[in-house]
Amino acid sequence: MNSKIALVTGAGKGIGFEVAKQLGLQGITVLTAARTKEAADQAASELRQQGIEAVGVQLEVTNEAHIAELAKWIQTEYGRLDILINNAGVSLEKPGYEGDAFRDTFEVNTFAPYFITEALMPLLLKSEAGRIVNQSSALGSIQFILSNELAQRIATPAYAASKAALNMLTAYWAQKTSGTNLKVNSVHPGLVKTRMGGDKAELSPQEGAVTAVRLATLPEDGPTGGFFYMDDTLPW
């Protein structure tokens, strides 16, 4: 198979769907992962109507058995994985839910990308140009939180801490795979009009997908172990 294979988590809607779409329009086969089979298949069907090679895959990102089954299926069907977009994420904090919100936020935003990436790492290392993109946030930048008054007002502890931890995983994997063809980076999508970002956000999902797609298709001399928004490098 000559086409690159990309897995996008949280691809049923929003930024994840747009990342899958933009990758697919470049001729990449996209696996649209969503929590339910119906959502995954619906996303894939919409992409196929636009001439994109897409396959829906059910993935409950916090279920390690689901992750293992998906890794086995990708190995059987494709023998490798070229691109992994860890896009699925949540922001759950609200009054009366603080304790559970902390645990549940880390389950999706940090633990899930860890277990998914570790399970798929052998397949990514088989690629001639493997790329891992972790969907982070500027609110996960410690330097940004310490220096920006707006960030201090809007950041919630569980979400910010979970994204900071995800950034550390990016740095860890980049160092672990140094000397290979694999590149691992974090991305801040911007403030995007999604259920999480709200209607007043400045960017469309299409615009919010741009940086992730760029990092997913980096050339051989592209960066690894970085944190990016558009063409800018962000501080950790």
List active site positions.
137, 163
Contacts of 7 (CB under 8 A, 6+ apart): 30, 31, 33, 57, 70, 74, 81, 83, 84, 85, 120
Which pairs count as long-range contacts for 159-164, CB under 8 Å and 24+ apart, including other chains?
159/91, 159/92, 159/93, 159/105, 159/109, 161/102, 161/106, 162/105, 162/106, 162/108, 162/109, 162/110, 163/109, 163/136, 163/137, 163/139, 164/140
Structure tokens at 200: 């007043």
- Of 15, 12, 44, which Cα lies nearest the Cα of 29? 44
Radius of gyration from C-alpha coordinates of the chain: 17
